[in-house]
Chain A
Amino acid sequence: MPYFQFLPHIVLFIIGSLVGLEASYKWHSEPFVQRTIEPIPLAIAIIGGILINIYAPLGFLFLGFVLGMRPGYGFYESILGIVLALVLWVIL
């Protein structure tokens, strides 16, 4: 079975997660978690949600960014991105 057809999706998701992790620690170095929706991750999640229906590996890169952010951050943005992706998938 050719599982490696999903290799680009997985690799780009991992790269997105790594970048998201590094970026979120740069943005937030405080020793507590702020439960807010931030504009940049939200925009990235929306772009990911749209792109995943056009060219899936690139969508995984963007969604990986918000999913891979520092623990406690990017949670609501990720859910919004995934829901948007599912809604678009059903519509299209």
Chain B
Amino acid sequence: MIYPATNSMLYLFLEIITASLFAGLLLGLHRKVIARIQRRPGPPLIQYMLHTLKFFIKELTIPDTSSMPLYVAIALALAGAWVLAFLVGPVLLGPYIIIIMCYAVHKVSEHGIGLATGSPYAKFGSSRAVLSATSEMPLVVAPALVFVRTNSLILQDIINYQIINGSLVNQLPLAALATFILVITKTPFNPFGIVYGKDIISGFKTEHFGVIRGVLMFGETLAFFVLLWCFLVIFFGGVINTPLTILLAMIGVTFILGFICALTPMVAPYHSVMIQWIFALLAIANVLLI
């Protein structure tokens, strides 16, 4: 196979297309696993992807109550942040800290998307986004511990360290667990998904239709890919460090996530925050093991 230059636009574009299609299939598999555990046939594997594509050809309606420029721009910001995170992380193996910053932009976008609509349901969703942002401690704790071990937050350096010294999951098991909790929180139907709770319809996305909703779903697809990738490469990088092994491991982790999401009820907002904090504190306790 002939590869385009790694810094060419064609290369980056093909990478984004591949990741979004693959993550779309993973999210379809995730729904299928949940359905089979609940003794339902479940949707086809490509359902999530079809659902996303459907929104791109639907009519775009903008609520009268919305703040128009923000309504469009903030949705694009969410998708743009994850495209950047994907390019910096899985494609170019750059600084992990930029992925964390993109995650922060994601949380701000969730809040802004809800507020921009003027809908009470969406505002509930955005309020919960702020609440859930307080529970993102594992996002900060885990990289700090990784830095203590590897003396670098460049992803290529972290992988090289693990190839020489073995996977970080053996040295930082609790940090890996905390990061896994973070991955769970970005999975559909997860027990900590208070932002998307059905008690507030569709959360901050309640008033988003048409191509804007499609863009949001595209961003969330890439987010799932990037977070899964970060978890696998940062903690299992000694073994999982080629594209094939990473993609296969992603399928395995998606199965596990499906089991978790199918068998656990959604917790209350307060408990969601507390549980994630407990895992972050456990990760900090991992310092004692170093």
B-contact 0/1 string along A3-20, CB 8 Å cutoff: 111110011011001100
Q: Are B18's CB and A4's CB within 8 A?
A: yes
Chain B contacts to A: CB under 8 angstroms:
1, 3, 11, 14-15, 17-19, 21-22, 25, 41-46, 49, 90-91, 93, 242-244, 246-247
The answer to whether A4 and B17 touch (CB under 8 A), given A13-B25, A14-B25, is yes
Q: How far is the CA of A2 from the CA of B243 in the complex (A)?
A: 7
Tell me which of A3, A18, A21 contacts B18 (CB under 8 A): A3
Q: How far is the CA of A4 from the CA of B243 in the complex (A)?
A: 9
Tell me which of B15, B41, B91 contacts A71 (CB under 8 A): B41
B44 — which chain A residues lie within 8 A by C-beta? 17, 21, 68-71
- Closest 4 A-B residue pairs measured CB to CB? A71-B41, A4-B14, A72-B41, A4-B18
Number of interface residues of A (CB under 8 A): 21
Q: How far is the CA of A13 from the CA of B1 in the complex (A)?
A: 19
Q: Are A14's CB and B22's CB within 8 A?
A: no
The answer to whether A10 and B22 touch (CB under 8 A), given A1-B246, A2-B243, A5-B1, is yes
Q: How far is the CA of A4 from the CA of B22 in the complex (A)?
A: 10
Closest residue on chain B to residue A8 by CB atoms: B1
Q: Are B17's CB and A7's CB within 8 A?
A: yes
Q: Which of A1, A7, A17 has the most CB of B within 10 A?
A: A1
A5 — which chain B residues lie within 8 A by C-beta? 1, 3, 243
Q: How far is the CA of A14 from the CA of B44 in the complex (A)?
A: 11
Q: Are B46's CB and A21's CB within 8 A?
A: yes
* Any B CB within 8 A of the CB of A58: no
Closest approach, in angstroms, between the C-beta of B194 and any C-beta of chain A?
29
The answer to whether A17 and B243 touch (CB under 8 A), given A1-B91, A2-B3, A3-B19, is no
Q: Are A4's CB and B45's CB within 8 A?
A: no
Q: Are B45's CB and A10's CB within 8 A?
A: no
B244 — which chain A residues lie within 8 A by C-beta? 6
Mind listing 20 A-B residue pairs with CB under 8 Å?
A: A1-B246, A2-B3, A3-B15, A3-B19, A3-B90, A4-B11, A4-B17, A5-B1, A5-B243, A6-B244, A7-B18, A10-B18, A10-B21, A13-B25, A14-B46, A17-B44, A18-B46, A21-B44, A70-B44, A71-B41
Q: How far is the CA of A72 from the CA of B36 in the complex (A)?
A: 10
Closest residue on chain A to residue B13 by CB atoms: A4
The answer to whether A1 and B243 touch (CB under 8 A), given A7-B14, A10-B18, A68-B44, is yes
Closest approach, in angstroms, between the C-beta of B148 and any C-beta of chain A?
26
Q: How far is the CA of A6 from the CA of B14 in the complex (A)?
A: 10
* Any B CB within 8 A of the CB of A67: yes
Q: Are B42's CB and A71's CB within 8 A?
A: yes
Q: Are B25's CB and A71's CB within 8 A?
A: no
Q: Are A3's CB and B46's CB within 8 A?
A: no
Closest approach, in angstroms, between the C-beta of B7 and any C-beta of chain A?
13
B22 — which chain A residues lie within 8 A by C-beta? 3, 6, 10
